[in-house]
Amino acid sequence: MDTIRENDTGAAVEDVQRKLAFLGFLNEDQVSGVFDETTIAAVEAFCKAHRVLPVKVVDDVVWAALLDATFLMGDRTLYLRMPYFHGNDVLQLQNALGALGFPCGDGDGIFGPTTELAVRKFQTNMGLPTDGIAGAFTYRAIRNLHHSWDGKHGPTAAHMGFARAADVLETNALCLFGTCEFTRSVAARMSNLALATTPTSKILSAESLLVAPDENMLLVHIVLPGSGAEKQGPLVAFAEDDSFPLRLRSAIAAATAKPRRIAVRLPGTQWEDAGEGRSAQHYAITMLDAFCTALSE
């Protein structure tokens, strides 16, 4: 979008003002279509409240923050992707699911693997297709239960912020590899996700490495049951709970041989009722998140 500056007029200015009024930073009678001093003050107040560098204009950053803050649950279809969906609608979804007994983490407004898993569990409980996609049928089921969640809160769990995750990706060298088509796909997807988060990520698949891994790089062998990886060093079984990062951390600490090496065993090539491609993507996202948590301290 074109940057909106002082004294600009038009529909774009009015749209900004209506969003600011919706959020309580302007009164309805101050929506004039003119980017005046009152609107500038409201933009600065919004930026401070939403941890955006305060400015006197509406640029791409401010506009994106305004959109995030004014999305309502049901405004858009939400699903697991990179970069993750984020915004007020995601937060409302997380709060509703949490109050219904399907916790999504710490209510961070980010549609990550924990939130997708909560959506799947809710869908299963309601007899809906368990695709992990928050769409029309899922929203309708949630709204039908509004008396059970409106104004209430559920349990929460810890989640790692993106800035912290990027720092982990940039400072820890891991070589991810598999020895079959499925596990190689998971390794490649983890590498792609890490690079999408930060182009300087040092967590890479064997296929992405331009040089041979050195002795300081941790080798992570992604395996399936019955692979015999138990004989090759510390082995961690994949899990969907908070114990997974802790067990990864312990395995990494126990990997003292050169080169350092651990194995992560997936339960199979099928995750719930998803196909192989979606299963591989789910394992990749969940494992990358767990490694970031394990390596953060």
Pair 289, 243 in one domain? yes
Helix (H) or strand (E) holding 264: strand 261-265
What mean pLDDT, rounded, does the chain reach?
87
User: Is 222 domain-assigned?
Assistant: yes
CA–CA separation, 53 and 45 (whole Å): 10
User: Is 176 domain-assigned?
Assistant: yes
Angle, vertex CA 162, rays to CA 250 and CA 203, nearest 5: 55
Q: For the chain, state the CA radius of gyration.
A: 22
User: Is 156 domain-assigned?
Assistant: no
pTM of the predicted model over 0.85: no
CATH code, domain with 137: 1.10.101
Residue 232: per-residue pLDDT: 66
Pair 214, 265 in one domain? yes
Pair 125, 196 in one domain? no
Residue 183: per-residue pLDDT: 95
- Paired with 132 in beta bridges are none
User: Is 266 domain-assigned?
Assistant: yes
Residue 228: per-residue pLDDT: 67
Pair 35, 125 in one domain? no
Pair 135, 166 in one domain? no
Residue 70: per-residue pLDDT: 93
Residue 13: per-residue pLDDT: 93
Check if the beta carbon of residue 67 is closer than 8 Å to that of residue 109.
no
Pair 216, 275 in one domain? yes
CATH code, domain with 218: 3.30.379
Q: Per the structure, how many domains does the chain have? A: 3
Residue 240: per-residue pLDDT: 84
Pair 290, 239 in one domain? yes
Pair 16, 134 in one domain? no
End residue of a domain, out of 127, 149, 171 = 149
Domain extent at residue 227: 162-294
Pair 93, 55 in one domain? no
Residues contacting 98, CB < 8 A, separation 6+: 104, 107, 118, 153, 154, 155, 156
Residue 195: per-residue pLDDT: 85
Q: Which residues of the chain have pLDDT under 70?
A: 152-164, 211, 228-232, 297
User: Is 157 domain-assigned?
Assistant: no
Pair 278, 185 in one domain? yes
* 100 Cα distance to chain centroid: 21
User: Is 105 domain-assigned?
Assistant: yes
Pair 220, 277 in one domain? yes
Residue 229: per-residue pLDDT: 58
Check if the beta carbon of residue 175 is closer than 8 Å to that of residue 213.
yes
Pair 187, 248 in one domain? yes
CA–CA separation, 248 and 238 (whole Å): 9
User: Is 155 domain-assigned?
Assistant: no
CA–CA separation, 40 and 249 (whole Å): 48
User: Is 204 domain-assigned?
Assistant: yes
Residue 186: per-residue pLDDT: 95
